[in-house]
Structure 1
């Protein structure tokens, strides 16, 4: 198909390339196959659990609903993939924090090249395995009172820990394989899949509630759906929003030709971290519930009381949970922004290319200028993420429509952001196929 190199691929060209280009088609099939495999694991049960009694006990728990959204319902059904990708995300957070604090890890990441990144990935896997064991022990202790007759306590604990940890490691392997050989970020796509898996039930319950005959319920449900639509539009605008910093390239001579000054721009996204600050913050908030369930069964005295107090303070829906959630989102927004964009490197690259920002001296002044703009943009993006994560949920509680329990604006933000990022990666692959086709014709 003939296409201009300067234009973004149209929908028709994208679908044609997805169907005809072997490389792109292979990546899509690998991604779909691995995502289907990940869904199958949620239906493989952990042995020895009375699922009817467990489901009855947790059906009105907002904490379980919050956790269940990231496992695609595997937690409420006690599947072997109940932990999902959460241990791997927590391990990634720890590694990224340690990389900025420990010179040895920073050297591995920046100076050792591909070998260093492989070592960091291996360390991340080990930490994820440790988190998987910790979470599995907590869940196994929590499930003790829901075991079927004839299952010994020690055997049940050991088998549950092995099953849940192995399931978590398998999910981690799937996410890495998607990132390497498929399309998009594996961890984000797995969370996207889990959210989509529970969405039909929430929508079905909402429509049943709207058809109950009560006009006030119908009005409140429509109002809530309108809020979600408005938030979706806002998310798209913010995710696509950029600040364009003008750049002037100096006049220079190449052979006998003199290139004139060219004006371009340096794009800085309003939300540099994308969906990752929300995912990181949500994963951190899972920890108090896991520790509380373990403390109630394995610990006693002051330690158990302190952990339970922290869990009560951070229980989903409480003011403490909302405040801490917003603070975590702001923190991870700035943290992830510092990982994605380095103003010093950006200023040095501009200086090497003979480019500069009008009115700003090259070098240190340019890096400070970019850092100041980036800081303001990150603050605006973090505030928006905090609003998206908290306000619609408060509106849902105020309207009294609880059918979206577990699926809130946070989930909506993840869905929209991951869809946008994956679509952009597909477009990038289509453009690369376009260039390969042009080279082949030449």
Structure 2
């Protein structure tokens, strides 16, 4: 991998793309520290220092914003509105036939869906920024904090804050698209990677020099390395279904007769089930936060469901991950569509008839592969959290299963793209 990066910087065109990508990442991190107009930067830093832990309701958003949410910066919402909008548009393909028709139109339909995603991102940014500002005004954004982070909460100031955070989300979306078009890798994924990786040094220092000590730091790093190795092993694994294409005559030339395969990953759903499960389990915390905290059912809900270290919370978390793995895989991989495309171009799986039998066989394979894939995803999400609870180093450090999945997945994909571009520029063939 290191040799690939060295060769990449020796190639002028690829070096420009890498430097452009790094420059956008730097701009993204600078925006994460710029305070929103109307926010007292001094009081925010004092609240961060006083709070032992972040609000679990906004922990996921704070993770994807690289800690910018708790600082109420210009990029406080991070990339989360775009992720939510993309998931919603993808799910609407199942519900609205027009969206599915646009998806099947090819490049023009995809461009229209992308435009819908942008509009929905801005709408969600307005909603989420209003929610964050409301929580900050109520004093529930930080624990054990008595100072006001928004001293002047007039309607004009609140409107300016909502407008600034929404504009910051639009700017992040534009920066991600710039990386995709002129840089290396997927822009949105790299910005998420930057947000999560930026919190690693602080987390390492808090474990080694504060809550844990050297012994707990070594144990945490050992667990993280083992989980990373597991993620790399599983994410690189494939079930390859062989496909044979029959020979056919087109005019005076013969086409087909080739053999290929359908690569099916063990974890088709990726990180989406973890995000779905975390978002759904945040709802009880939201209910408990605005309800009467003296009621017995609110106390039970807070202690058993809303608390991330509670056994019932961990069980529900793992079950929801397994459920959403099957749910999202069924949405993203359509066996009937794959079987129809194979039949259209004269392809078939050896030993399986084309058409409906092929779709049933693909559905059978996907169901069997998703079972270990969902269990693997639940283990990756739970093992670091349980380890950190046992060691007593906190559950909000950015070494959770979702963080490791994103960082490793984006890193592998980016390295693959760099290597593919290197092969295009340094391929010699038979003649030098």
Q: TM-score, normalised by structure 2?
A: 0.83
1:226 to 2:222 alignment:
yes
1:40 corresponds to 2:30 = yes
Change over 3 Å in CA distance of 1:211–1:394 after alignment to 2: closer
**Correspondence 1:174-189 to 2 at 5 A:** 174-189=175-190
Task: Report the counterpart of residue 166 of structure 2 in structure 1.
Answer: 165
State the Cα distance separating 1:20 from its structure 2 match: 1.6
Aligned counterpart in structure 2 of residue 351 of structure 1, from 322, 333, 343 = 343
**Displacement of 1:306:** 10
Q: CA deviation at 1:40?
A: 0.7
8 Å CA contact 2:79–2:191 kept in 1: the answer is: yes
Shift of 1:99: 1.6
Q: 1:260 to 1:149 in 2, by over 3 A?
A: closer
| Conserved 8 A contact 1:55-1:76 | yes
User: Does the C-alpha gap of structure 1 residues 134 and 264 become closer, same or farther in structure 2, counting only changes over 3 Å?
Assistant: closer
* CA deviation after TM superposition for structure 1 residue 57, in Å: 4.9
CA offset at residue 130 of structure 1? 1.8
Greater mean alpha carbon deviation, residues 358-367 or residues 422-431: 422-431
Task: Give the 3 Å change call, closer, same or farther, for CA 329–174 of structure 1 in structure 2.
Answer: farther
Aligned length: 418
Per the alignment, residue 142 of structure 2 pairs with none
Superposed, 1:100-111 pairs within 5 Å as 100-111=94-105
Does residue 1:73 correspond to 2:67, yes or no?
A: yes
Seen in structure 2, the aligned counterparts of structure 1 residues 427 and 306 have a Cα distance that, compared at 3 Å, is: farther
8 Å Cα contact 1:14/1:430 also seen in 2: no
Q: Would the aligned equivalents of 1:90 and 1:283 in 2 still touch at CA under 8 Å?
A: no
Which residue of 1 is the match for residue 310 of structure 2? Answer: 318
Tell me whether 1:134 sits opposite 2:124 in the alignment.
no
Structure 1 residues 307 and 424, CA, compared in 2 at 3 Å: closer, same or farther? Answer: farther
Unaligned runs of 5+ in 1: 1-9
- CA-CA distance at 1:416 after TM superposition: 0.7
- 3-state SS in 2 of match to 1:69: helix
Change over 3 Å in CA distance of 1:305–1:41 after alignment to 2: farther
Displacement of 1:222 in angstroms is 2.8
What are structure 2's unaligned runs of at least 5 residues? 140-146
Higher relative contact order (CA 8 A, sep 6+): 1
Mark the CA change 1:292 to 1:427 in structure 2 (over 3 Å): closer, same or farther. Answer: farther
Residues 136 and 176 (structure 1), Cα distance of their counterparts in 2 relative to 1, 3 Å cut: same
Taking the aligned partners of 2:28 and 2:355, their CA distance within structure 1 comes to 48
RMSD value over aligned CA atoms? 3.7
d(CA) in 2 for partners of 1:172, 1:305:
44
Cα distance in 1 between the residues matched to 2:358 and 2:117: 35
CA distance in structure 1 between the partners assigned to 2:197 and 2:70 by the alignment: 16
